[in-house]
Amino acid sequence: MLKLQGIHWSTPEGEEILKGIDLDIPEKELTVITGPNGGGKTSLAKMIAGIYTPSAGKIELDGQDITNWNVTERAKAGIAYAFQQPVRFKGLTVRDLLELSAGANIEEAKLCGMLSTVGLCAQEYINRSVDSSLSGGESKRIEIATVLNRKGASLLVFDEPEAGIDLWSFGKLTEAFERLKAEGSRSIVIISHQERIMEIADNIAVIANGRVRTFGKRADILPELLYGEKQPFCPVAGTKKEVC
């Protein structure tokens, strides 16, 4: 599906963030990427979406070299990306964004269904501007809805979808990811620190200090991650969990 080989990337200021990432994202499975803050997860997600271009390394999608493809080309090739910090627009409405994402006009009933999936009461939101009048949680859920409903997307990448979302909505969101996984038609990558999301993953990759610390099946990785000794996170005194 998606193959990352020796990916390096530095900020414009020269700080090296990704220091040789090697990762194969399996097709039609749910892969969670986790790890400590500042370890390079979001940079990696932006690399997959084409927002960042690697200084070295190669990215292949279904065997095709897409390393130098721009954001639009990757989107058209089937990569959908949900931002960690949703973008605001003065004037563009929720309907506008969902229709752009779906590549077609959408009936109101269907729009309502899309928004309900992410825990929004649809009628109140369809014609609202995606601007600062929306709370962080609301805009986050709309952002996720644009990716869940992307036309022709075969790889969905979500950057910390749980951030800013209340517990009830998070429960609905987790259910949506489970349904998506059960459909088995698309590959899913979720960057997350949430145990509940890791629990529904097929695979888990741990990224720390710009490298893949470990990658494998959930059953092999999660117990070690939560209770094992080889934890990639900062230890917290008196507990077995890591919350760095």
Partner 1 sequence: MNIITEKLLSIVSDWDGKFKGAFNIREDSSCAARQNSENIKIENKEGKPGIVVRVSGKAKGETVFIPACVTKSGIDDLVYNDFYIGEGADVIVVAGCGVHSDGEEEARHNGIHRFFIGKNARVVYREKHIGTGEGTGAKRIDPVTEITMEQGAYMEMDTSQIGGVTSSDRRTTAHLAAEAKLIIRERLLTDGTQTAKSDFVVTLDGDDSGVDLISRSVAKGNSVQEYRSVIEGNCRCTGHSECDAILAGNGIVNAAPALNAHHIDASLIHEAAIGKIAGEQIIKLCTLGLTEEEAEQKIIEGFLK
By the criterion CB under 8 A, which residues form the site for partner 1? 49, 51, 70-72, 75-76, 80-81, 83, 87, 89-93, 96-97, 100-101, 103, 146, 150-151
Cα→Cα distances 21→12, 46, 57, 200, 208, Å: 19, 13, 8, 24, 10
Give the shortest CB-71-to-partner 1 separation in angstroms. 4
Shortest spacing between CB 233 and partner 1, in angstroms: 29
Q: Kindly state the smallest distance separating residue 74's Cβ from partner 1, in Å.
A: 8
Nearer to partner 1, 31 or 146 (CB): 146
Q: H/E element holding 100?
A: helix 94-102
- Output the smallest distance, CB 100 to partner 1, in A: 5
Structure tokens at 188: 């899913």
Q: What would the two tokens of residue 215 be?
A: 């990658």
CB of 72 or CB of 105, closer to partner 1? 72
CB of 129 to partner 1, least distance (A): 8
Of 77 and 226, nearer to partner 1 (C-beta) is 77
- Spell out a b/e string for 217-228, using b for 16 or more CB atoms within 10 Å of the CB, else e: ebeebbebbeee
Give whichever of 68 and 166 is closer to partner 1, judged by the CB atom: 68
Q: Which residues, 6+ apart, have CB-to-CB distance to 5 below 8 Å?
A: 22, 57, 58, 59, 60
Residues 168 and 160 sit within 8 Å (Cβ to Cβ): no
Distance CA 156, CA 233 (A): 26
Residue 107: what are its φ and ψ, rounded to 5°?
A: -65, 150
Of 141 and 150, nearer to partner 1 (C-beta) is 150
Looking at beta carbons only, is 75 or 205 nearer to partner 1? Answer: 75
As measured in angstroms, the least distance from the Cβ of 97 to partner 1 is 8
Residue type, 197: I
